[in-house]
Chain A
Amino acid sequence: MFDVLLSEEEKKIRDEVRAFVRDKVDRALILKMDSKEKEYPSEFVKAAGKENLLGLRFPKKYGGRGLGWVSEMLAVEEVGVLGIALGCAYSLPSIIGEGIEKFGTEEQKVNYLLPTLQGTKIGGEGLTEPRSGSDFFGTITTAVKENDTFILNGEKRFVAGGVGADYFLIYAKTSFEAKPHESLSAFLVDRDDGVRVEEEYELMGCRGMGAARIVMENLEIPEANLLGKLNGGNDVFNAMMVPERLTSASGAVGMGVAALEIAVRYAHKREAFGRAIRRFEGISFKVADCATELDAARGLIYLAAKVADTGEWCRKEVSQAKTFCTEAGFQAVSEAMQILGGIGYTDVYPIEHLFRDARLATIWTGSNEVQRLIVQNEVFKEILSEDRSLKRDVELDTPGAHKTTEKVYTEDPKKYYPDKS
């Protein structure tokens, strides 16, 4: 992110994470994960936890550093250069942590949040079902109260850490009459409660995260593991979507930046027709456009992080950032591949890996199509509820403004029907 906007504390944490990414992540781990190694990168998470780099914005007593959202976004962008899988492993404690920190009991914070941020307990998120991910409120997994337990039945799909996580944050339907947003609850479900892995997915990218379909069949979950209020899953979901989507945004920018830097160095050295290819506008303008889009993307992340820091409703800014940044990130990776030409399509350079990884970012954590639905909804709400007297009425600054009969918004379809009376 741009230094001019950052505080000294923010620059310091960015540099600390940058050094961690440079020195403490074994190249062999990245290659192993991408080669369809499904084992969860627990050692990476543990190492980040040991350095106190997980969940930076959470209170120190639960393993965080009490920093702001901007710091966390800077950290995720730095980790993003490692690819989407490790970016995801780094972000999950922050995503799940948001739910536990905001809605959990003290016992849940001590038993789940603290070890998660210390990197000693791995959490997975069970949100998407085979029937849908984006249509979250149509969740069909159920939890039925029976004495002091809930009986959980259902399946969750594309669970990062489906293989490897120690526990899952699972959403289930707990009211069968109420409206969709008043009918879901969140639960902390230990793998040892009986969670079964039915399918380990072979993914195009984002490999090595144990993405799986998990099945819960008549699991008995203690009432103490209900996260937040009964039927209050909507609140947990809305809170978790902030880090879920913002980390997606930052990680994608990290991948785009990494690819662009490789492409810039390549274009500076690679020659064609007797000169470095950067001298051709076909190449150099791609660099200009990608760098501009990535900076614009960072601007949106910065804005969303600042709004999130105030604690105000920030769904529009978060969804805008998620959409724009994941598309800018993927575009930068794609253009970097174009700049490198054929060699960029091989594993001699890591662009093809980043390409496969970055492609996922526009799909997961709420597809960009759903983000656009959210953004337009927020924009309509915002503009239509505005007090128009506070601004100049620009609609009147035109010669024909007085022609009110021409300002037609609807007409009776039967207006010209023959009169039968």
Chain B
Amino acid sequence: MPARNVLNQIKERFEPSILRVDVPSDNRLFLYVTPGVVRDICNHVFRDLDARYVVSIGIDDRPYSGQFTVAHNFGFEREKVLSSILVNLPADDPVIDSISPAVPAANWAEREFRDLLGIEPVGCPSMKRLVLPDGWPEGVHPLRKDFSWDLKPAKFDENKVFAFDDPPEGCVVVPFGPFHPTLDEPAHFRLYVEGEIVRGCEYRGFMVHRGIEKLADTVLTYNEIPMMAERICGICGCVHSVAYAQAVEQAAAIEPPARARFIRTIMLELERLHSHLLWVGLANHILGFDTLFMQSFRMREPIMWLCERITGNRKTYGLCVIGGVRWDITPEIKDDINRILDQLEKEWIAAAKAVQGDRNLQKRTKGVGIADAALVKDLGLIGPIARASGVPQDCRRDFPYAAYDQVDFQVITQAGCDVWSRVLVRVLEVFESIRIIRQCLEKMPAGPIQLQLDDELPPGRIGLSSIEAPRGEAHHFVVTGEENRPRRWRVRAPTYQNLQGIPAMIKDQQLADMTISLGSIDPCFSCTDRLEILDIKSGDVRVYSQQEIVNMTRRV
């Protein structure tokens, strides 16, 4: 019982402060603790037990228990346990000790629940607005249950400007974004530059905040949400819909059929293939190596056609329902997949050789955008960034889901900590994905692809699900609810953590390397923002105003 072992370790020090314990399975642990010890217990879990910080979630539970709830999620990789440390807070005074001083990675998540739910993290080092637009009135919190999803606050001040910090002495401000040629999506960086060297930056992002989580707990139903989850991000959409479905299934103790789990695995890996190929293309485009950009898009296109053949759409697959999948893989499609994978493997061997042997590429990326293992730990960096820093972290192996426990694959790591290592990690992962898909096709059992669910899902249960998206771990947190929809659904996309590492990665680097450093995390702002905008400065992250953005657009 790995979850029990973790629990016993925490109990050794904090037994009197633990109010309630829930161990629904071997690899899930829910601890309800008193508000006073939350910082100590998180510090203990994060530093002494060496857990990885995942996300913090604020929940408005007032209609049910009359309280607010805050959950801090941690992942224990060695024990393969995902845990949630929950604290109940009084409805009239929702104040909690900030854990950011102990766990730096929690900064954004705490500011997010401050913006969206009005839960005050006391002692948080940065209290600037993160998610909501600058003109949004103070004291209006959209994720509270008494806020209607379509309310447009009357006091919205269109001209309000985000208050940036003053630039350090001797530095020039260079705006980067919101619309920038190397960014597909809007995000704004305010770079402080001395000569050619970046001394710091401030980030105002969350410009793609669409209010998705609010729509899920007010308007949509369980089986409609996967459709929206796919549209959180156009590239890793399948990841979000599978993660959501798994979180609900785990909360309601539903076990999807084996064939459905294999089909999910295959689609997730196909998505990783097209995403990695896209990234290698874009990264080379940023670096000016356009031949490979064109080539990798050419190799990628058959995968898009294949996905269309399987699911009927090139990107948003409409794959998941609670308790299974919608699309089956027929024998003819199986042959197609094998044929396309063979072709891709052959071509990718040539491409990988071209990338690995390219001196210009190496000179441009080696020693750029350094993120060492200590930074990875502190800021909770994940996915290819962590693996390129020698941290063998991969949810497919650490918290097996779908059919990953039945296939054999390697976790690719590199020790360089720089952009070059991230290129190598992604290039080599393509081969692992191809291997996984082949094994799945071989081992896939016959049988139904969906469960018939006759009963209503039980309300008030919590589900956690982590999935290794192409960019890192995507984490979904679901509290089931009444009226056939969840009470709370929180999405933590990989870029949410990785973006917090950017200020440290670009500090004291050439300005010209900024674009590839940012590009190397494969930023996906639509995932991250779901709701909002951001800024970066010398290690801490902040939010931006409209007027600022307007001014920047002018200067551009």
Q: Say if A and B assemble together.
A: no
